[in-house]
Amino acid sequence: MNSFLEKVLVDLEKNQIETTTAIYVVPSRRVGVFLSRYIAQRLEQPIFLPKIYSVEEYIEELAEVEIVNDLDLLPLFYKAYKSIEKEDNLDSFDEFIGWATTILKDFNEMDRYLVDPEQFFNYWGSVKEMDHWALNKNPTLMVSKYLRFWKKLHLYYDAFQKLCIENETAYQGMAYRLAFARCTKHYDTTNTKLVEGNEEQASFISMHKGQTIFLGLNALNTAESKIIQKLLEEEKGFIYWDIDSYLMDLPYHESGKFIRKFKKEWKYYDSKELKLYGNDYNTNKQIDIHGAAGNLSMIQVAAQLMEQIPQEELEETAIILADERLLLPLLDAIPKNIEHFNVTMGLALDQLPLSAFIYDIIKMHTEAIEDGFYYKGMLNILESSFAHILIKNDSRKLVQYIREKNLIYVTPSSFDEVSTNLILQKTLQPVQNVGALIELIQFLLHELKIKLLKEENRRLEIEQLLGITEVVQNLATIIDNNQEIKDLKTVAYLYKQLVPLKNLDFIGEPVRGLQVMGLLETRALDFKNTIMLSVNEGVLPAGKSTASYISNDMKYQFVLPTYSEKDSVYAYHFYRLLHRVEKAAFIYNTEGDTLGGGEKSRFLTQLETDQNSNHIISHQQYIFKNTAVKEELMVIKKEASYFERLQQIATSGFSPSALTSYVRNPIDFYASKILRISDLEDVEENIAANTMGSIIHEALDKLYQPYVGKLLIKEDFDQIKKQILPELERAYQECYTSESTPLGKNKIIYEVSLHYIKKMVQSDLDLVKGGQELVIKSVERKLEAQIEVPQIGKVKIHGMVDRIDQLDGKLRIIDYKSGATLKGNVGIDPEDFNVLSDDYKKAKAFQVLMYTYLYSLNEAFTEASAGIISFKNFDEGYIPFAFKERGSYKEKMIDAEVLKDFEKVLWNLIQELFNKEIHLTEKPV
The full DSSP string for 662-716 is HHH-HHHHIIIIIS----GGGHHHHHHHHHHHHHHHHHHHHHHGGGTTSB--HHH
Helices (H) and strands (E) in the chain, counts: 35, 31
Residue 206 has pLDDT above 80, yes or no: no
Distance between CA atoms of residues 586 and 571, nearest Å: 14
Q: Where are the alpha helices (DSSP H) in 185-334?
A: 204-207, 222-233, 245-248, 257-265, 295-307, 327-333
User: What pLDDT, on a 0 to 100 scale, did the predictor assign at position 746?
Assistant: 66
488-498 vs 93-112: helix crossing angle, rounded to 10? 30
444, 472 contact by CB (below 8 A): no
Give, in order, the Cα–Cα distances in Å from 337 to each of 304, 321, 328, 528: 12, 21, 18, 19
CA distances in angstroms from 373 to 42, 444, 683, 729, listed in the order given:
65, 18, 14, 35
CA distances to 149, 808, 809 from 772, rounded to whole Å, are 44, 6, 10
Residue 202 pLDDT > 50, yes or no?
Answer: no
pLDDT tens by residue, 104-135: 999 999 999 999 999 999 888 887 777 666 54
pLDDT tens profile 298-324: 999 999 999 999 999 999 999 999 998
Q: Please report how many Cα atoms fall inside a 13 Å half-sphere around the Cα of residue 477, on the Cβ side.
A: 12
Rounded to whole angstroms, the Cα distance separating 123 from 117 reads: 10
First vs last Cα of the chain: how many Å apart?
Answer: 55
pLDDT at 739: 40
| Position 289, amino acid | I
Give the model's pLDDT for residue 263: 94
d(CA 734, CA 691): 10
pTM for the whole thing? 0.70
Query: What whole-number distance in Å separates Cα of residue 920 and Cα of residue 668?
Result: 10
Encode 183-219 in three state secondary structure.
HHCEEECCCCEEECCCCCCCCHHHHCCCCEEEECCCC
Cβ pair 588, 607 in contact under 8 A? no
**What is the Cβ-side half-sphere exposure of residue 406, based on CA atoms within 13 angstroms?**
17
Q: pLDDT for 462-494, tens place per residue?
A: 888 999 999 999 889 888 877 778 889 889 988
Nearest-angstrom CA–CA distance, 439 and 648? 43
How far apart CA 522 and CA 259 sit, in angstroms, is 18
How many CA atoms within 13 Å lie on the side-chain side of 138?
Answer: 3
Residue 88 confidence (pLDDT): 78
DSSP string, 869-921: EESTTGGG-EEE-EEEETTEEEE--B-HHHHHHHHHHHHHHHHHHH-TTS-EE
Q: Is 449 helix (H, G, I), strand (E, B) or coil?
A: helix
Q: Pick the more confident residue, 686 or 412.
A: 412
Chain centroid to Cα 840, Å, comes to 28
Residue 509, pLDDT > 70, answer no
Q: Is the pLDDT of residue 199 over 60?
A: no
Q: Which residues are CB-neighbours of 77 under 8 A, at least 6 positions away?
A: 100, 104, 156, 160
122-137 CB burial, b ≥16 within 10 A, e <16? eebbeebeeebeeeee
d(CA 528, CA 450): 46
pLDDT in tens, 225-275: 999 999 999 889 999 999 999 899 888 899 999 999 999 999 999 999 888
In this structure, how many other beta carbons lie within 10 angstroms of the beta carbon of residue 887?
5
Q: How far apart are CA 581 and CA 3, in angstroms?
A: 10
Identify whether the C-beta of residue 203 lies closer than 8 Å to the C-beta of residue 62. yes
Per-residue pLDDT tens digits for 276-285: 767 889 888 9
Residues 738, 712: Cα–Cα separation, whole Å: 34
Q: How do residues 29-76 score in pLDDT, each as one tens digit?
A: 889 989 998 888 887 777 788 899 999 999 999 998 889 888 888 889
524: left (phi over 0), alpha (psi -120 to 50) or beta: left
Residue 200 has pLDDT above 50, yes or no: no
**Whole-number Cα distances in Å, 484 to 92, 336, 480, 490, 492:** 7, 53, 9, 10, 15
The β-bridge partners of 799 are 783
Per the model's pLDDT, the better-predicted residue between 622 and 27 turns out to be: 27
Is 142 a residue whose pLDDT tops 80? Answer: no
The 3-state DSSP class for residue 532 equals strand
Q: How far is CA 919 from CA 409, 636, 664, 913, in A?
A: 20, 6, 15, 9
Residue 154 CB partners (closer than 8 Å, separation 6+): 117, 118, 121, 122
Residue among 443, 446, 463, 452 at smallest CA distance from 388: 452
**pLDDT tens-digit readout, 573-595:** 999 999 999 999 999 999 875 54
C-alpha–C-alpha distance, residues 378 and 341, integer Å: 39
Distances (CA, A) of 571 to 105, 503, 532, 704, 830: 24, 26, 14, 53, 53
Residue 72 has a pLDDT of 82
pLDDT digits (tens, 9 = 90+) for 734-788: 766 444 445 555 677 788 889 999 999 999 999 999 999 999 999 999 999 999 9
For range 901-924, the mean pLDDT: 93
Element (H, E) at 118: helix 117-131
**Binning pLDDT at 50, 70 and 90, where does residue 377 land?**
confident
d(CA 154, CA 119): 10
Residues with Cβ within 8 Å of residue 193, at least 6 apart in sequence: none
- Distance, CA of 421 to CA of 429 (rounded, Å): 13
Q: What is the mean pLDDT of the chain?
A: 86
191 pLDDT band, cuts 50/70/90, is: very low
263 Rama sector, left if φ>0, alpha if ψ -120 to 50, beta otherwise: alpha
Is residue 179 within 8 Å of residue 227, measured between CB atoms? yes
CB < 8 Å & 24+ apart, contacts of 248-255: 248/274, 248/277, 253/571, 253/575, 254/567, 254/568, 254/571, 254/572, 255/568, 255/571, 255/572, 255/574, 255/575, 255/576
Total Cβ atoms within 10 A of residue 37: 13
Among candidate residues 797, 803, 794, 792, the one with its CA nearest the CA of residue 763: 803
Q: Is 143 helix (H, G, I), strand (E, B) or coil?
A: helix
In angstroms, what is the C-alpha Rg of the chain? 33
pLDDT of 588:
95
Q: Is the peptide bond before 790 cis (omega within 30 degrees of 0)?
A: no
pLDDT value, residue 266: 95
